[in-house]
Chains A and B, each alone.
Chain A
Amino acid sequence: MKILVCVSKTPDTTSKIAFKDGNTKFDDAGVQFIINPYDEWYSLVRAIELKEKDAATVIHLITVGLADAEPVIRKALALGGDEAIRVNADNADSFYIASQIAQIAKDGAYDLVFTGKETIDYNGSSIGGMIAELIDAPYISLATKFELEGSTASVTREIEGGEEVNEVALPLVVSCQKGVAEQRIPNMRGIMAARSKPLKVVEPANIEALTSIESFELPPAKAGVKLVDADNVDELVRLLHEEAKAI
């Protein structure tokens, strides 16, 4: 059983977002980078749990990024996983990234590919679906529960207004979110072990990106809160009805 866990480097959830070079690049000055929470808390931890149940399971982590992504992938290895692969390329676009990962997923004959439900920077929720299409495997998105019985997976996924329980044979691509696993903190043993785990660097396949980011912008600043006196709730209702037209 071979699992490929996709890991992305993202700014910390509390980062102040700013841009540079005429709003064409993310300004990473003073920004702390973390493992994308959905990749870490849910897909990586669930993979580790599967390995704890079946020691024959092999977990490989993969990231597409330049050398500055290595501290984050080492941190992921401290939680668990046998080795990591870094595709040595800048993140051109979702199709580019998914194509790189799909190539490795195919060559490595992985049974299961895990992604987080989205990254907290680009919020595309696209990589898992694209990988699945490129390797011609089923895709279960927004999973809240993942169980494995032999080579059949039982996956609960979010649908509008509820959830659906799916049964599907491997190979399979799954995007994970809250519910699949619980967050873990790496321990000292894990951190030490991560230092000696293999981190392979591979050169990217020749893929053309299909989109490019022209510029960024910040949302217009809020005009400021209009405070209403606690004894004058009717005034809030009037404002919501007449001014905001929200009720």
Chain B
Amino acid sequence: MKVLVFIDQAEGHVKKSSYEALSYGANVATLVGGEAVGVILGEVKDDLTSLGKYGVKTIHQVQSSSLNNVDAQVYAKTIADAVSAVGASIVVFSHNQTGKAVAARVAARLKAGLVAGAVALPKVSNGFTVKKSVFSGKAFANVSITSALKVISLNPNSFNIQLVEGTATVQPLAIEVTASKVTVKAVNKVTGEIPLTEADIVVSGGRGLKGPENWGIILDLAKTLGAATACSRPVGDAHWRPHHEHVGQTGVQVAPNLYIAVGISGAIQHLAGVNRSKVIVVINKDPEAPFFKAADYGIVGDCFEILPKLTESIKRLQAKG
């Protein structure tokens, strides 16, 4: 039984979420007594053989410059053809921006049952059941896939990568690539910042910061930690911070290892965007702020005093190595 893992890349570089998908796929293969292989589309700059350390021995590459941009329609057809070509019965994606669009299309094309947003390895003792996040992180569902072909998209940052020895071999895969109906007119990347959804650590500010001119203490802490910055909805709506930083139910959903919330009360809609974070730290002057109930660590106090001290303390820790 073969497990095909889709390796997502942008500008020739493999995304971090794909490392998780590869390691997840390798573990799924072990569970079902099969082999995991990767598939990557487009032209790549990274050394793909090193991806062997995530547990795949073969990576199939469909090398065509017309695959350098993600068009879900073209990608789905190409990946579905790759599934047939390698004889895979399980397909794994990351549930990132690309995976959300492409996995659904691949599943519909192959009439394969889809679990979108998986958070754990499947249980295969009795059928094939995958746990996924539902109700915006407030609960989980155990979903059984009843079709022969199966597609799983894995929530980013919900699976611990397991490294193994070995390298992968890259094999070109000859698949006819259809012409895209979508023209990419512009790509606007936020430069010099860590993408929120890929960040290990997120430092987030709310109304407690009192105004955009006070964001320096957030930026200093984030810079020291190598963290991405985020904000609550009122902050985004008031244009204190750019709209793409808004984290919450209707904004970006994040699942970093560490989420530091500064001056955010923790409305249920905000929690829905951050409750998959592994560790939550809340700094708020109001001891009654609901966020403390969802936090692992907290400080009740004035963020304008605490944050500079916190940044200095972390710098001292880093200096000790």
Name A residues whose Cβ lies closer than 8 Å to a Cβ of B.
11, 13-14, 17, 19, 37-38, 41, 93-95, 98-99, 118, 120-130, 132-134, 137-142, 154, 158-169, 177-179, 209-219, 222-223, 225-230, 233-234, 236-237, 239-241, 244, 246-247
- Cα separation A134 to B76 with both chains bound (whole Å): 12
- Cα separation A139 to B295 with both chains bound (whole Å): 38
- Cα separation A160 to B101 with both chains bound (whole Å): 13
Please give me the 3 A-B residue pairs with the lowest Cβ-Cβ distance, nearest first: A129-B104, A230-B301, A161-B195
Q: Which of chain A's residues has its CB closest to B197's CB? A: A160
Q: Check A210–B111 contact: CB distance below 8 A.
A: yes
- Which of A94, A127, A233 has its CB near the most chain B CB atoms (within 10 A)? A233
Residues of chain B within 8 A (CB-CB) of A209 are 146
- Which of A19, A38, A213 has its CB near the most chain B CB atoms (within 10 A)? A213
Residues of chain B within 8 A (CB-CB) of A226 are 296-298
Chain B min CB distance to A241 (Å): 6
Residues of chain B within 8 A (CB-CB) of A13 are 136, 249, 268-269, 272
**A-B contacts, 25 listed (Cβ < 8 Å):** A14-B269, A41-B250, A93-B113, A94-B104, A95-B107, A98-B108, A126-B107, A129-B72, A154-B185, A160-B15, A162-B190, A164-B69, A167-B183, A178-B251, A210-B112, A222-B294, A225-B295, A227-B292, A228-B298, A230-B299, A233-B313, A237-B314, A241-B317, A244-B279, A244-B296
Q: Say yes or no: A225-B296 contact (C-beta < 8 A), given A210-B114, A230-B305, A233-B309.
A: yes
**Is B103 among interface residues, defined by CB-CB distance under 8 A?**
yes
Residues of chain B within 8 A (CB-CB) of A129 are 72, 76, 100-105, 108
Chain A min CB distance to B144 (Å): 5
- Cα separation A246 to B133 with both chains bound (whole Å): 23
Q: Is the interface of A mostly helix, strand, loop or mixed?
A: mixed
Q: Which of chain A's residues has its CB closest to B185's CB? A: A165
Residues of chain A within 8 A (CB-CB) of B181 are 138, 168-169
- Cα separation A99 to B143 with both chains bound (whole Å): 19
Q: Say yes or no: A178-B186 contact (C-beta < 8 A), given A129-B72, A160-B195.
A: no
Q: Per a CB cutoff under 8 Å, which of A14, A128, A162 touches B104?
A: A128
Interface residues on B, range: 35 or more
Residues of chain A within 8 A (CB-CB) of B185 are 154, 165-167
Q: Which of chain A's residues has its CB closest to B73's CB? A: A138
Q: Check B116–A126 contact: CB distance below 8 A.
A: yes
Residues of chain B within 8 A (CB-CB) of A166 are 182-185
Residues of chain B within 8 A (CB-CB) of A132 are 72-73, 105
Q: Per a CB cutoff under 8 Å, which of B96, B134, B183, B281 touches A240?
A: B281
Known: A93-B113, A211-B113. 12 other contacts (CB 8 A): A13-B268, A161-B189, A162-B195, A167-B185, A179-B243, A210-B147, A211-B114, A211-B115, A219-B139, A228-B298, A230-B299, A230-B301
Q: Say yes or no: A125-B299 contact (C-beta < 8 A), given A93-B113, A162-B190, A179-B243.
A: no
Q: Which of chain B's residues has its CB closest to A116's CB? A: B250
**Is B142 among interface residues, defined by CB-CB distance under 8 A?**
yes
Instruction: Tell me the residues in window 69-127 of chain B with beta carbons closer than 8 Å to chain A beta carbons.
Output: 69-73, 76, 95-98, 100-109, 111-117
Q: Which of chain A's residues has its CB closest to B267's CB? A: A14
Chain A min CB distance to B40 (Å): 16
Chain B min CB distance to A200 (Å): 25
Q: Per a CB cutoff under 8 Å, which of B10, B109, B134, B195 touches A121?
A: B134
Q: Check B141–A168 contact: CB distance below 8 A.
A: no
**Is B246 among interface residues, defined by CB-CB distance under 8 A?**
yes
Q: Say yes or no: A216-B140 contact (C-beta < 8 A), given A129-B104, A139-B72, A166-B185.
A: yes
- Cα separation A213 to B102 with both chains bound (whole Å): 22
Q: Say yes or no: A240-B279 contact (C-beta < 8 A), given A95-B107, A129-B72, A130-B107.
A: yes
**Is B286 among interface residues, defined by CB-CB distance under 8 A?**
no
- Cα separation A244 to B187 with both chains bound (whole Å): 38
- Cα separation A158 to B253 with both chains bound (whole Å): 13
Q: Check B141–A142 contact: CB distance below 8 A.
A: no
Q: Check A120–B135 contact: CB distance below 8 A.
A: yes
Q: Say yes or no: A163-B188 contact (C-beta < 8 A), given A133-B108, A210-B147, A246-B258.
A: yes
Chain B min CB distance to A109 (Å): 18
**Is B223 among interface residues, defined by CB-CB distance under 8 A?**
no
Q: Check A225–B282 contact: CB distance below 8 A.
A: yes
Chain B min CB distance to A67 (Å): 23
- Cα separation A121 to B136 with both chains bound (whole Å): 6
Q: Per a CB cutoff under 8 Å, which of B15, B141, B258, B294 touches A213?
A: B141
